[in-house]
Amino acid sequence: MPVALDKIQEVSVGNGALGPALHPSRIETMVFVRYVAPPTNPDDRAEYDAWLERVNFLCDDLHWLLQQPHDKFWCQVVFDEGLHKALDSFLHYCPRRYDNLKPLPEAGMQRQLELCRLVFLTYLRMSTHKESKDHFITPEVFGEILYNNFLFDIPKILDICSLFGKLNGPLLSKMVGNIFTQQPKYTNDLRDTMPTMFQVFSNIAARCGVLLETPGATPQKLSNQEVMTLTSNDLQDVLLYLTDTSLTLHRFLEVYPTAAAVFHKHGFCSVLANFYDNVMPELRSQLKQLDFPSSSTKMQLANKLQVIRKSLVSVFHAVVQHVCLTPVLENAK
């Protein structure tokens, strides 16, 4: 009869001793290099070659990891801190679709895409507690392994949705859904992040001269002494940050619509509506008034503003759809 990996105890852990199958002594000595963003100037051959070499190392090592049997894979994933840091660096520095980067040479682009594929498959396997009838982890223990070893957390899940949600939506939905199902503590963590999300929007609003109060409060104009006039560089930073925030939330709610209940309960729609009505016009006004190095830069920022607008509307719609409309339609059947 098959036995769950966490129940297997009599495995060699070195020096003739026996221990659990999940044991730090069973990991292979590997050096997982950290990912860095592609060079801003791929024509700089030395910088490009150094980046490509790093990507090749990561591709080779993740390919090796994915080839490992169930028990060896999980030992490496749980106990190899270098692997954790390598995966974290990819989530942090991997370019997003909205980044305006100079195109990479074909060879570099293909290796970057391959690395994206391998990282996604690694996280997909890490989110699966049952690979087959013979290879599985007890669901309750699986949830504790994920949480106690920081294999996933809310920022990582958001980054994963941002990077992979557009092209891998259905598979990612199963993956994220399983993470939240097997470990309910992640839902509590999501609730705990809501004040931070509110603060992000409040900080951006303040830079535009709008005071966003707690959920349900009426926005107020700051006094002239409190308003900071945005420079063109400031506005670029704000729009880039807001693009990342809005698209990430959009992808997350697409992938895991159940999270809409948490957003709704904490008054997120009220904050978002206030932000949209009072800050978006201010950003459009600033964009029209400020001078930029070139017309193409201004056009790129205008496009980002449009992406932000659509993403914020989609986030609002996703919350209302899941919490308000879907239950009504289901009850009407």
DSSP code per residue over 171-209:
HHHHHHHHHHHH-THHHHHHHHHHHHHHHHHHHHHHHTT
Contact 110, 59 (CB under 8 A): no
Residue 291 and residue 90: Cα distance in Å, rounded? 35
Residue 257 CA, chain-centre distance (Å), reads 15
Residue 249 and residue 268: Cα distance in Å, rounded? 12
Residue 130 and residue 178: Cα distance in Å, rounded? 11
Identity of residue 283: L
**In this predicted structure, what is the pLDDT of residue 208?**
84
**In this predicted structure, what is the pLDDT of residue 225?**
40
Residue 94 and residue 58: Cα distance in Å, rounded? 13
Nearest to 124 by CA among 152, 102, 99, 88: 152
DSSP three-state, residue 243: helix
Identity of residue 51: W
**In this predicted structure, what is the pLDDT of residue 53?**
97
CB contact set of 57 (below 8 Å; sequence gap of 6+):
33
By CB neighbour count within 10 A (0-12 exposed, 13-18 middle, 19+ buried), where does 206 fall? middle
pTM of the model: 0.92
**In this predicted structure, what is the pLDDT of residue 158?**
97
**In this predicted structure, what is the pLDDT of residue 216?**
44
**In this predicted structure, what is the pLDDT of residue 333?**
63
DSSP three-state, residue 59: helix
**In this predicted structure, what is the pLDDT of residue 332?**
66
Q: Which residues of the chain have pLDDT under 70?
A: 13-16, 213-228, 332-333
What is the helix (H) or strand (E) element at residue 18, kind and residue range?
strand 18-19
Contact 41, 102 (CB under 8 A): yes
Contact 260, 318 (CB under 8 A): yes
